[in-house]
Amino acid sequence: MRAEKTPVLVYHPRRTAEYERRLRPRSDLTVLACYSEAEVRERAAGAEVVFAWKLPPGSLAAARRLRFVQLMGAGADDLLGDPDFDRSVPVATARGRFGPWLAEYVLGMLALVEKDFRRSLRQQAAGRWEPYPVGRLHGKLLGVAGLGSGLAVARAAAALGMRVRGYRRHPAPVEGIEQVRGPDGLGDFLCELDYLALVLPLTPATRGLIGRRELERMKRTAWLVNVGRGGVLRERELVEALRDGVIAGAVLDVFEEEPLAPSSPLWRMDNVVLTPHIAAPSEPEIMVELLLRNLANHREGRPLEGTADPERGY
């Protein structure tokens, strides 16, 4: 007797075809591939599992057969904050899969700042040979806010000889990190940093955590790198602080609203480096393996990997 197939709705704004190609041969799945937000809304009612990167608001309002949702990213705040989503449905995330990606990105950007590689590229384009002084990361103080995936960032920085301090919701000593602060020690955490890496989830406690008042606790020579969630920063206040020289600069991969509007002043600021949410991509091979493990976990009554807590928001 053939086992009943599980209908899985698959959606990624740009890569649905890759996911469909990997899942279509599975004899235990019916793949509901969606290539637009409208298709997600149309097919949600037939899905028992949703496998998606970022879901349009209200798109699962008709999904009454859901057993669980598997997200391709680490954050679940958009879905858990959607009033049309039934929060009794388990939501699994891909948290814990992005640490090495984030470490490469953050350390690469810190090197870009210390060596002023943007200046080298401008000189190359102009055909100019003009040696200039550069800095080094060894001995500099990096603060890592968020020690989930951020732990990989902290360890990579320490391996290069950087001093590292951490910030997390529940502070506790971490090997290789000289100091870990919690919410009541945010100001002290910020005040001596050369670099601040934000690797935080977006929750009620972290939304708008960093604005001008917090940035004023930092050194004027400090740089900020945000690879967590855009809503952790009060973006307008960050722009004002960068214009006023409160900190030296910022590297931003995530934003309050994505894509970043062409009218944003961040595009035109010399002390800002922007990237289009590429620091930790969701690779189909890894995400499909995670989905299949969680399908097996669900069928056999085991807990899902990476289950989000609706109260904490991640």
For residue 53 the two structure tokens come to 């990167």
Give the residue ranges of the chain where pLDDT is below 70.
1-3
Looking at residue 312, what is its pLDDT?
Answer: 87
Element of type H or E holding 30: strand 29-34
Looking at residue 4, what is its pLDDT?
Answer: 87
15 an active-site residue?
Answer: no
64 an active-site residue?
Answer: no
Q: Which residue has the tokens 């496998």?
A: 51
Catalytic position from the list 236, 258, 289, 302 = 258
236 an active-site residue?
Answer: no
Looking at residue 1, what is its pLDDT?
Answer: 42
**pTM for the predicted model, two decimal places:** 0.95
Peptide bond connecting 259 to the previous residue in cis, omega within 30 degrees of 0: yes
For 207-242, b/e burial (b = at least 16 CB within 10 A) is bebbbbebbebbbeebbbbbbbbbbbbbbebbbebb
pLDDT tens across 227-264, in order? 999 999 999 999 999 999 999 999 999 999 999 999 99
DSSP state of 298: H
Q: How far apart are CA 198 and CA 126, in angstroms?
A: 35
Q: Which residue has the tokens 């009612």?
A: 45
The β-bridge partners of 165 are 143, 179
The β-bridge partners of 145 are 167, 198
Enumerate the domain spans of the chain.
6-94+282-299, 99-274
Same fold, 6-94+282-299 and 99-274: yes
pLDDT tens across 255-268, in order? 999 999 999 999 99
Class (C level, CATH) for 6-94+282-299? alpha beta
For 17-50, b/e burial (b = at least 16 CB within 10 A) is ebbbebbeeeeebbbbbbeeeebbbebbeebbbb
By the 8 A CB rule, do 34 and 43 touch?
A: yes
Catalytic position from the list 277, 283, 305, 312 = 277
Catalytic position from the list 95, 97, 229, 234 = 229
**Fold classification of 99-274 (topology level):** Rossmann fold (3.40.50)
